[in-house]
Chain A
Amino acid sequence: MIRKELVAASAEPLILSLLAKGESYGYAIIQEVKARSDGKLQWTDGMLYPVLHRMEHRGLIKSRWGESETRRKRKYYSLKKDGKTAMAKHHEQWSLVHSVLAGLRKEKYV
């Protein structure tokens, strides 16, 4: 299981990246993150919503109420222009951290 500090720090880039594929809703976002990380990246489900609301207040994403195929009410979130810019910044920063770590790891085993 991944440490909670890292889970919290990765929430925004993950949400932005998932929404870049198309609009989605809270439950689906959680399920997709779980599936893509083989269950290793797990949020306390309810904690996703304050993060989504905060991102909406900051103008990174927007929301609309809609209905599922089974006519269940759902709140759908989608990416805004500022969200795309924020996502690009996140990718750049996380790639940098990843490349530094990978470089150090390689040096250790050379």
Chain B
Amino acid sequence: MFDLEKSIGEWCKQMLAAGIQTPVPLEELEIHLREEIERQMKSGLNEQRAFEISIQRIGQPKMLDREFKKSERSFMKQILKIGAGIIGVLVGMAFIMPAAAQCRHEGAMAKDEVVLYTFGMAMCFAGALLVLQSFKRRKA
């Protein structure tokens, strides 16, 4: 005797085994599956046939997991780039501030400080550029 709830439970286990994260997106997929089963049953199919067709329509667990992972990877990459950019700006500022303070205090910068100041400016610029590019790419 076909048990719909048991079969949905088994399907969820297969999704988890393939790597689909819980609660989201597994919960979202399960809600979708239940709506599709309901629609198939309204069109006249029995529980078992409705379940079989619906899981086919949702797709293979491995294939879905691959797509979700792709989306997570690109998100993580953006976050890392933004983080690296912010660190770059902060490190740059750490070089600029003492050199600028020295200049204000003594009216001029020593050769070493000019090098540090320039390096700091370059770090700030590169960091800010990385952050801006990451935001731009996020929306593209």
Contact = CB atoms under 8 A, between A and B. Distances in A.
Interface of A: 26-27, 44-47, 49-51, 53-54, 57-60, 72-75, 82, 85-86
A45 B58 contact: yes
Given A26-B32, A72-B31, A86-B139, A50 B59 contact: no
Given A57-B75, A58-B139, A59-B139, A50 B70 contact: yes
22 contacts: A26-B32, A44-B58, A45-B36, A45-B58, A46-B29, A46-B64, A47-B59, A47-B67, A49-B28, A49-B68, A53-B25, A54-B71, A54-B74, A57-B75, A59-B138, A72-B34, A72-B35, A73-B27, A74-B31, A75-B28, A75-B31, A85-B139
A36 B29 CA distance: 23
A58 B29 contact: no
A45 B70 CA distance: 17
Contact of A46 (B34, B58, B138): B58
Interface majority SS on B: helix, strand, loop or mixed? Answer: helix
B57 interface: yes
Contacts of A75: 24, 28, 31
Contact of B57 (A45, A50, A57, A85): A45
Question: Nearest 10 pairs between A and B by C-beta?
Answer: A50-B67, A54-B71, A46-B59, A44-B59, A46-B58, A57-B75, A27-B35, A45-B57, A46-B64, A50-B71
A13 B27 CA distance: 25
Contacts, number: 67
Contacts of A47: 59, 63-64, 67
A61 to B, nearest CB: 12
A26 B58 CA distance: 12
Contacts of A54: 70-71, 74-75
